[in-house]
Amino acid sequence: MRSESEAQRLARGSARLRRAAAGTRGSADGTDTRNDAGTAGGTGAPRDGADDAGTAGGTHAGHDGLETARDAGKPVSDAEPGGLRLRWALLTVLVGGLALAAAFPPYGIWPLAAVGPALLVVALRQQSLRGSFAVGAVFGLAFFVPLLSWVLNLAWYAWVALAVSDTLIFAVLAIGQRLLLRLRAWPVAVAGWWVAEEALRDRWPWGGFPWGRLAMSQAEAPTVRWVSVGGPPLLTFLIALAGACLAWVIIERRVLHAACFACVAGLALAGAALPVAASGAASATVAAVQGDVPHARNLPGLLNDSQITLNHAVATAKLAARVKAGDLAAPDIVIWPENSTDLDPFEYPVIYQEITAAVRAVGKPVLVGEILENPLRNVGQLWLPGRGPTTKYTKRQLVPFGEVIPLRGLLSHITSLTALQPVNFTPGHQAVVFRTGKIRLGDVICYEVGFDGLVRSEVTAGANLLSVQTNDATFEVDGQTGESLQQLAMAQIRAVEFDRSVVVASTTGVSAIIAPDGSLIARSGIWRQAVLEARVPLLTGQTLAERVGGWPEYVITALTILALIGAAAGAVAERRSGHSGPRRPRAADAAG
């Protein structure tokens, strides 16, 4: 009798399974991922959502990108319903990518820095791995293409190469974020994912390109002071965590999740209440000279023009005249921009004489941006009255497709840029602090301001004042200001991060003098000659960000990688368990 009862229970269990499978195949909606498990024959084995459209008798949810139980790496009974179909997910991240781009200058709508990551989470939820790559690719293109549109002034292929390479990195890593969404604490893991993603792009390919970091959109936001605690990686983490919690609210619509979002957003905004470190009573008067360049409509017209040096010499002479007339205080140091001499002054005597005359006229040290030959280098060199050129700093992080041409052999067949830049620049290898009077000046050149370690190295070497020499003319030919303003925002963030005054000197604008709290003391327009002067504090204290260095980024990235490994291992284990064969009905199932 016992064996007969067992057989009866098994028969009843099988009948229930057949009825459940039939109900799944008959569903007209097909949007609940639990129904994706049904297959022809009613075995209930999970399938890949990417293959659903081609399976006889299967539902059509996978064709639209909705995650199936197999894609999620979960047993059928554990799959979450409610993910977006692929077409809607792609539209969502299109909006999200554009929103994130608008968080950065020239638009500067900084709250959108949390909205973009939130929409990415909403779109990635329940997607297959291939769907996750597509979602990441669309988000990346919608973000990087407009963010980097100013690169078009250099060359169309440079714009395409940078935008597409960053997009591919982002799309591949988006698969990782999809896996992290399996974790209980996924909002924290997603915030770590953004830090890790930025860490990779800051270093690779071609030496890295640190544009588009969430933190760098916050120069005018109350959140910005968090960079003085843990640098840009900490601020990126907080912004991304707020975005992840916002996505949690959108997905779950629960009071508890709304409270979590409010707490995280409040914490990020509380950065405005962080104390401002102030140490040292010394101050100095600094001047930035923006000599302007010929507004040529093509790259050759902007290069190797002796007019550039003459413009800066004339502007410096005007500064000297205003000082002599008593209209301005005598500066303690004058900063000329990057490429203020496009011709090597040691190869061209006329250029050397023009610089010498300008330094003599103002009677103060002048930091001159020079292009030096043999080997080709981009340097900032301090010229002293009566002594001429002295200490120089050589740019360490060279611009891909500008100072270094990747894939030179291939590009030589499709563009003339390799002929305009036939030799790659030689990078420098160390920080240099210029010492003059009370001033200890640390210099970075152009987009070096985007690299955490480079700027930090100047401060740790003893700088009490920072300068950013830049030449933005190439990227402003068509009137775009994105590159100039994005770079200015980075300089403002560096001022807050290290509690240092920063002088930004540009050939064509935007030039600026920035207070240690990140506020703008003075600022110029673009495509005009200008001289800025202000008295700034020379602070010497250490912020917590300087003390901890790169450790916040290292720790967050390492923990995120461990979380990703755990999420991937769990997905693989559950997938294997789901593919171990048709599930045999258990006695408990039959009895139920």
Domain assignment present for residue 256? The answer is yes
Residue 22 lies in a domain: no
Residues serving a catalytic function are 338, 395, 446
Query: Please, which residues have CB within 8 angstroms of residue 434's CB and are 6 or more apart in sequence?
Result: 365, 367, 382, 391, 393, 440, 441, 442, 443
Give the H or E element holding residue 369. Answer: strand 366-372
Q: Domain with 537 in it: what CATH number?
A: 3.60.110.10
Q: In terms of domains, do 327 and 429 share one?
A: yes
Domain housing 178: 86-275+549-573
Question: Mean pLDDT throughout 386-395?
Answer: 97
Say yes or no: 368 and 395 in one domain.
yes
pLDDT exceeds 70 at position 71: no
Of the ranges 300-304, 313-317, 525-529, 582-586, which one carries the lowest mean pLDDT score? 582-586
72 and 97 in a single domain? The answer is no
| Least confident segment among 185-189, 297-301, 396-400, 543-547 | 297-301
Supply 485's token pair.
């303003």
Using DSSP, state whether 280 is helix, strand or coil: coil
Task: Kindly state whether residue 8 falls inside one of the protein's structural domains.
Answer: no
In a shared domain, residues 472 and 379: yes
Q: How far apart are CA 345 and CA 358, in angstroms?
A: 13
356 versus 56: the higher-pLDDT residue is 356
- What are the tens digits of pLDDT across the range 104-113? 999 999 999 9
- Predicted TM-score (pTM) of this structure: 0.83
* pLDDT, position 158: 81
Report the chain's mean pLDDT, rounded to a whole number.
Answer: 85
Eight-class DSSP state of 584: P
Do both 562 and 442 map to the same domain? no
Q: Are residues 327 and 240 in the same domain?
A: no
What mean pLDDT do residues 196-203 have?
A: 97
Whether the CB-CB separation of 355 and 383 falls below 8 Å is answered with yes
pLDDT above 90 (res 175): yes
- Averaged over 160-186, what is the pLDDT? 96
Nearest 5°: CA angle at 235, between 231 and 238? 145
Instruction: Please say if the pLDDT value at position 67 is more than 60.
Output: no
Q: Are residues 434 and 466 in contact, defined by beta-carbon separation less than 8 angstroms?
A: no
Query: Same structural domain for residues 51 and 183?
Result: no
User: Mean pLDDT over residues 577-582, rounded?
Assistant: 61
Q: How many Cα atoms are found within 13 Å in the side-chain-facing hemisphere of 327?
A: 9
Residue located via tokens 């979450």: 80
Q: Do residues 289 and 352 both lie within one domain?
A: yes
pLDDT at 280 over 50: yes
Supply 562's token pair.
């461990």
Q: How many domains does the chain have?
A: 3
Residue type for 364, please? K
Same domain? For 243 and 118 the reply is yes
Looking up tokens 């990415």, which residue turns up?
120
| 303: confidence class by pLDDT, cuts 50, 70, 90 | low
Residue range 444-496, pLDDT digits in tens: 999 999 999 999 999 999 999 999 999 998 888 878 899 999 999 999 999 99
**Residue 80 confidence (pLDDT) above 90:** no
| One domain for residues 328 and 467 | yes
Q: H-helix or E-strand containing 469?
A: strand 465-470
Do 37 and 182 fall within a single domain? no
pLDDT at 579: 60
Which residue matches tokens 């470190």?
277
